[in-house]
Amino acid sequence: MFESAELGHRIDKETYDREVPKLREDLLNAQYDLSQQSRFPVIIVVGGVDGAGKSETVHLLNEWMDPRHIQTHAFPDPSDEERERPYMWRFWRALPPRGKIGILFGAWHSAPIVERVLSRSKSAKLDQSIEEIIRFEKMLTEEGALILKFWFHLSKEQQKKRLKALEKDPKTRWRITETDWEHFKSYDRFRKVSEYFIRQTSSAAAPWIVVEGVDHRYRSLTVGRLLLNAMRERLAEKPAARLPEKKSPMLPRLDGKDVLTSLVLTTKAVSKEKYNREMEAWQGRLNLLTRHPKFKEISVVFVFEGQDAAGKGGAIRRVMQALDARVYQGIPIAAPTEEERAQPYLWRFWRNLPRRGRFTIFDRSWYGRVLVERVEGFCSENDWMRAYSEINDFESQLVRNGTVLVKFWLQISREEQLKRFREREKTSFKRFKITAEDWRNRQKWKPYHQAVCDMIDRTSTEIAPWTLVGANNKYDARIKVLRTIVGSLESAL
Amino acid sequence: MFESAELGHRIDKETYDREVPKLREDLLNAQYDLSQQSRFPVIIVVGGVDGAGKSETVHLLNEWMDPRHIQTHAFPDPSDEERERPYMWRFWRALPPRGKIGILFGAWHSAPIVERVLSRSKSAKLDQSIEEIIRFEKMLTEEGALILKFWFHLSKEQQKKRLKALEKDPKTRWRITETDWEHFKSYDRFRKVSEYFIRQTSSAAAPWIVVEGVDHRYRSLTVGRLLLNAMRERLAEKPAARLPEKKSPMLPRLDGKDVLTSLVLTTKAVSKEKYNREMEAWQGRLNLLTRHPKFKEISVVFVFEGQDAAGKGGAIRRVMQALDARVYQGIPIAAPTEEERAQPYLWRFWRNLPRRGRFTIFDRSWYGRVLVERVEGFCSENDWMRAYSEINDFESQLVRNGTVLVKFWLQISREEQLKRFREREKTSFKRFKITAEDWRNRQKWKPYHQAVCDMIDRTSTEIAPWTLVGANNKYDARIKVLRTIVGSLESAL
C-alpha cells in the first residue's frame, strides 16, 4: 500500500516553478466554475503521518485557490454538544455546501485509527467504524459530493529525519511536541493499522490517494494536479447525466395483503371519560420518566408520519403536554431552506438531533425521501432506493449513541380521511389544516399506500421498529402513542 | 407595577367558550398572513412567578395556533459551547426567522433576576444586564421584530395556594419540586427585584405586559387577544412604511483633514530579506502565544476591512500560516444566505463566534452595514446610523466575555489601487480577484472614504479600537498586522 510512496519522489525547482502558475490559474478557474454551477461540493480529506506535510498542504491549497470559497475544518477536542451526539455529528456540521470546497483536516478516519493504535479499542470496533465510514462516504458520493482523500506518507526513517529537522530549526521547533515523538514510537503499529484502514475504506468512488510526503514540491504538485483533474472531470459532466433508471425488484403483493391492509384501523370507541383518565395516567408516567436520574444520559427522538389528517398533530400535542417545555423541541418538516438544499438530504435532520436529556419530536421526517419524494417523482428511483439503507445507517448511529428512537405511522381509512377533510372545511379554525395539496395527495392514495408498505418493510428494524397505529379512532390512537412511548422509555431507563 | 394583576380577574366559562373558537380562527389567520408576508418575526417572551401559568400558556399557544410555525425554546443549563460565548449567544441561536413565531420560555431576563434574588450578583451587575437587554431588544424591534413580553403574576398568598393545589393533585404533583418551595421563600425578594427589572426593561417598543395568573380563562384570553391585536396591527402596516429619513448631523470635514488623509500610506520599503526575517519572527511569536496555558481561556476575533486590493487576503494568509489549522476558522463575508437574510444583520456574525481557545478571522465583517450597505443604499440612513451603537454593543459583549478583538482597516491610495487592479488583470491566476464590481466601487471612492472615516470615529472605542494600516507597501502592512496581533494577545495573556 505504501510502496509507491517510499520511492523518493522528487520534483526539481525549475519544473515546479514552471508548472505552478499555470496550475494555480487552472485551479482558480475550476473553483470559479464549481461555484457558478453549485451542483456539488468538493470534500478534501487530509490524513497521514505526522510531519508528512498535512498542514503545509492545507495552507497551500488556501494560498493557491480563493480561500473565500474554501472552508477548512480541523477536529480537536470535541465539545460537549458534540460528545452528546453520534460520532458523525461533528463532521455533518462541517460539510461544505454545494459549490464550495471543504478541507477536513483529520476527519472521521482519525479517531478510529488512533484509538486502535493506542489499543483503546478492539479490532471489532475498528471494523465497525470502517463499515460506518464506507457507508457514509458512499452516501456522500451518491448525493453528488466529490471526495478526495489524501494520505501523506513517510517511511519510519524519513519521519525520524523530518521530526529532527523540524526540531532543529528554531522557526519550526514549536511544531514538534512530545506527542509527536510518542506517536513516532508507535510508528510500526500506526503503519499497520492505517494500512488496514486505508485498504478497507478505499472504495471506487472515494479511494485514498497515498502521497509521499518527503519532497514538498512533489507533494504539492501531486495534490494540486489530482484535485484539478478530479474537479475538471466532474465539472465537465452533463448536469443531466444520471444513472439509467433500473426498476428495482420489489415484493409484489399477489394476494392484496400487506401490513396496512392487515392493520385494524377502527378500534372500539372509548368513552371520553375513560380517554381522559387514561391519557392523564400515561402523561403522568411519561413525565415521571423524564425525572428519572438516568434520563440525563439518553436522548429521545420521536418520528410521526401518517396520511394527511391522520392525527399526527393531535398526537404530538398530547405528548408535548406531558413534557416540560425545557426538555423538548418540536421540528416540523416542510420545504428545506437554501442552506439545507445545498447539503445531503439527511443534513437537516442531523442538525436537529437532541442533546442528552432532551427530546426532538419530528412532525414528518427523513422518511419524506421514500414517501412524498418517491411518489411525486422529486427524486429518482435510484435515490429513494438507496435511501432505505442510508436511513437505516442513520438510525443505527442514533441508537448506538444511546438515543431512544420511536417511529409512528398513523393510518386512517380513505373514508375516514374524507370525513375529516370535510369537517376541517366546516370548522372555521381548522380550515388552515386543509389545502388543495391535501386533496391532490388524496388522489394518489394507491402509490402512497405502496410507498408506505415498502418503507415499513425496509426500515422497520430490530433497533428501530415502526409502530403502526390504526387511527380512525383518535382517542385510541393517542393512547397507543403514549403507551408505546412510555414502554420504550421504561425499557431504556 | 403588579397592582392590576392582583385584583382577582376572572372570566366565566360561558364567555370563554364563546370567545375562544373565534379567537383561534383569528390567530390562525394572523399566523397564516405572518408566514405569507414573511416580513417580521414574532418573539414572545414568557416570564413570571412559578405556578402562574407560564408553561400552560406555552402549551396553549401551541394548541391554538399551527405549531408548525411556532418555535418554542426554553433555556435550562447552558452547554459548554454556550458558556464559552457571550451570554446572549444562546438567545441569538433561538431567534425565530421572519414569518415565524418564537416562544422563548425564560429568556434573557431569567438569569439576571435569579442571580440577583439569590444574591449571586451585585445590583451593579443587574443594572448592566438591564442596559444590555434594553439595547438588545431595541435592536430587535428596529430590525422589525414584534416582541411581546408576558409576565405572569401571582400574589404571595395566591402563589402559596397554587403550589399547594398543584401538590395535592396526583396529576400535577410532579410539577412541584423543592426548588419551587425554595423560590417561594424568597417571594418578597423576587417580587422586589423583578418589579425593578420589569420597570427598567419596559420600553415603548417592547413593554412588559403583566398578566394575573390565577384564573386560567382570564390569563389565556388576555394573552390570546393581545397577541392577536399586536400581530394584526403589524400585519396591516404598509410594507413600505419607514421612518422619514432624517439627515443625521455628522462631523463636517472643514479643513479636509481626516483619519485617512492623515495616515501615512507609503512607508519606506523594506527589503525582501528583512521582511522574511521579521515575518518569521512574528509568526513564531504568534504561534507560541497560542501555546500559552491561558490561551484556552480566551477567544480571539480578527476583523479585516479595507478597500478592494488593499491586501486583506494576503495579510490574513500570513496570520493563518502562523496558526495550527485546528485553532482557527476563516469566515469570508459575501452575500448572506436565505436563513441569514431572515434574521437581524448581526445574526450571521453571532453564529460564527469562536469557542474559547479558538480564532475566528473575518474577511470583511459586520462593518459592511456602515460601509457597502450605506454607500450603495442597501439600507436606510436610520438603519446604518443605529448600526454604530448596535455594533459597539455587540463588540462590548465580546470583550466582556474575554474575547480579544482586533480590527484592521487597510488603506491604500487611489493610485496604488489602480496599479494593483492592472497587475491583477495581467497576472493570469489573479484575474479572478478583479471584477467589474471592483471597478464600480472604485468610482465611489469619495463616499466610501467618508463612510470609513465615520465608521472609525464612531466605532473605534477603548475596548475595541481600530488599527489603521497604511498598506501601499504590502510587506510593511503585513508586519504591522502581525505585530499588532501579537501585542494584543500578549497583553491579554
SS3 A322: coil
Q: Which alpha helices (DSSP H) does A237-358 contain, by range?
A: 272-290, 312-321, 338-341, 347-350
Instruction: Give me the domains of chain B, ranges plus CATH numbers.
Output: 3-236 (3.40.50.300), 272-492 (3.40.50.300)
Do A486 and A402 meet the contact criterion of CB atoms below 8 Å apart?
A: no
pLDDT higher than 70, residue A247: no
- The C-alpha cell 530549526 sits at A169
Q: A178 vs chain B: nearest CA distance in angstroms?
A: 13
pLDDT digits over A292-343, tens only? 999 999 999 999 999 999 999 999 999 998 998 888 999 999 889 999 999 9
Mean pLDDT of A141-156: 95
Q: What per-residue confidence (pLDDT) applies to A22?
A: 93
| Angle, CA of B223, B224 and B225, to the nearest 5° | 95
Nearest CA in chain B to A76: B326
Give the per-residue pLDDT at A346. Answer: 97
Cβ atoms within 10 Å of A450's Cβ, excluding its own: 17
- Chain B from 46 to 65: CB within 8 A of any A CB: 55, 58-59, 62-63
Chain A residues in contact with B32 (beta carbon < 8 A): 432
| pLDDT reported for residue A243 | 56
Radius of gyration of chain A from its Cα atoms, rounded to whole angstroms: 27
The confidence score (pLDDT) of residue A217 equals 95
Q: How confident is the model at residue A248 (pLDDT cuts 50, 70, 90)?
A: low
> Does residue A261 have a pLDDT over 90?
no
Q: How far is B305 from chain A (nearest CA, A)?
A: 14
**Which residue, among A42, A455, A480, has the nearest Cα to A264 in the 3D structure?**
A480
Which among B67, B316, B428 is the nearest to A25, CB-wise?
Answer: B428
A181: pLDDT strictly greater than 70:
yes
Three cell numbers at A237? 459532466
- CB contacts under 8 A, B 192-251 vs A, are none
CA distance A241 to A345: 20
Strands B403-411 and B466-470: parallel
In DSSP terms, A300 is beta-bridged to A359, A404
Best of A25, A68, A101, A353 to disrupt the B interface (most B CBs within 10 Å) is: A68
Interchain pair B67, A326: CB under 8 A: no
Measure CB to CB from residue B28 to each of A22, A75, A432 and give the nearest one: A432
Query: Going by DSSP bridges, is the β-strand pair A70-74/A101-105 parallel, antiparallel, or unpaired?
Result: parallel
Cβ–Cβ < 8 Å for B440, B447: no
Inter-chain CB proximity B25 and A81 less than 8 Å: no
CA gap B418, A436 in Å, rounded: 59
Q: How far apart are CA A4 and CA B86, in angstroms?
A: 51
Please tell me the distance from the alpha carbon of residue B11 to that of residue B15, in angstroms, as a whole number: 7
* Percent of the residues in chain A that have a pLDDT greater than 90, as a whole number: 75
Q: How far is B284 from chain A (nearest CA, A)?
A: 6
Residues sharing a CB contact under 8 Å with residue A256, sequence separation 6 or more, in sequence order: none
Q: Do A25 and B170 touch (CB under 8 A)?
A: no
Closest residue in A to B171 (Cα–Cα): A284
Mean pLDDT to the nearest integer, A205-232: 94
The pLDDT of residue B242:
54
Q: Please report the pLDDT score of residue B216 as a whole number.
A: 94
pLDDT digits (tens, 9 = 90+) for A154-168: 999 999 998 898 888
Q: Flag whether pLDDT at A66 surpasses 80.
A: yes
- Read off the DSSP letter of residue A326: T
Per-residue pLDDT of chain B (493 residues; tens, 9 = 90+): 788 888 889 999 999 999 999 999 999 999 999 999 999 999 999 999 988 999 899 999 998 999 889 999 999 889 889 999 999 999 999 999 999 999 999 899 999 999 999 999 998 999 999 999 999 999 999 999 999 999 999 999 999 998 898 888 876 777 777 878 888 899 999 999 999 999 999 988 899 999 999 999 999 999 999 999 999 999 998 766 555 565 666 766 777 788 888 888 887 778 999 999 999 999 999 999 999 999 999 999 999 999 999 999 999 999 998 998 888 999 999 889 999 999 999 999 999 999 999 999 999 999 999 999 999 999 988 899 999 999 999 999 999 999 999 999 999 999 999 999 999 888 777 777 788 888 999 999 999 999 999 999 999 998 899 999 999 999 999 999 999 999 999 999 9
Give the predicted TM-score (pTM) of the model: 0.86
Measured between CB atoms, which of A62, A81, A313 is closest to B81?
A81
Q: Degrees (nearest 5) of the Cα angle A388, A390, A392?
A: 70
Phi, psi of B408 (to 5 degrees): -115, 135
Could you report the predicted ipTM of this complex, rounded to two decimals?
0.79
Q: Among B27, B429, B431, which would you mutate to test the A interface (most chain A Cβ atoms within 10 Å of its Cβ)?
A: B429
Say how many CB pairs under 8 Å bridge A and B: 134
Query: Tens digit of pLDDT for each residue in A12-28?
Result: 999 999 999 999 999 99
Q: Which residues of B touch A178 (CB under 8 A)?
A: none
Chain A positions touching B432 (Cβ under 8 A) are: 28-29, 32, 66
For A360, the enclosing helix (H) or strand (E) is strand A359-363
| 3-class SS letters over chain B | CCHHHHCCCCCCHHHHHHHHHHHHHHHHHHHHHHHHHCCCCEEEEEEECCCCCHHHHHHHHHHHCCHHHEEEEECCCCCHHHHCCCCCHHHHHCCCCCCCEEEEECCCCHHHHHHHHCCCCCHHHHHHHHHHHHHHHHHHHHCCCEEEEEEEECCHHHHHHHHHHHHHCCCCHHHCCHHHHHHHHCHHHHHHHHHHHHHHCCCCCCCEEEEECCCHHHHHHHHHHHHHHHHHHHHHCCCCCCCCCCCCCCCCCCCCCCCCCCCCCCCCCCCHHHHHHHHHHHHHHHHHHHCCHHHHHCEEEEEEEECCCCCHHHHHHHHHHCCCCCCEEEEECCCCCHHHHCCCCCHHHHCCCCCCCCEEEEECCHHHHHCHHHHCCCCCHHHHHHHHHHHHHHHHHHHHCCEEEEEEEEECCHHHHHHHHHHHHHCHHHHHHCCHHHHHHHHCHHHHHHHHHHHHHHHCCCCCCEEEEECCCHHHHHHHHHHHHHHHHHHHC
pLDDT(A175) > 90: no
93-112 in chain A: CB under 8 A from chain B:
105-106
Q: Does B429 touch chain A (CB under 8 A)?
A: yes
Long-range contacts, stretch B2-5, CB < 8 angstroms, 24+ apart: B2/B153, B2/B155, B2/B191, B2/B195, B2/B210, B4/B210, B4/B212, B5/B153, B5/B210, B5/B211, B5/B212, B5/B213
A335 contact B CB<8A: no
What is the residue-averaged pLDDT of chain A?
A: 91
**Across the interface, do A339 and B338 touch by the CB < 8 Å criterion?**
yes
- Mean pLDDT along residues A389-414: 95
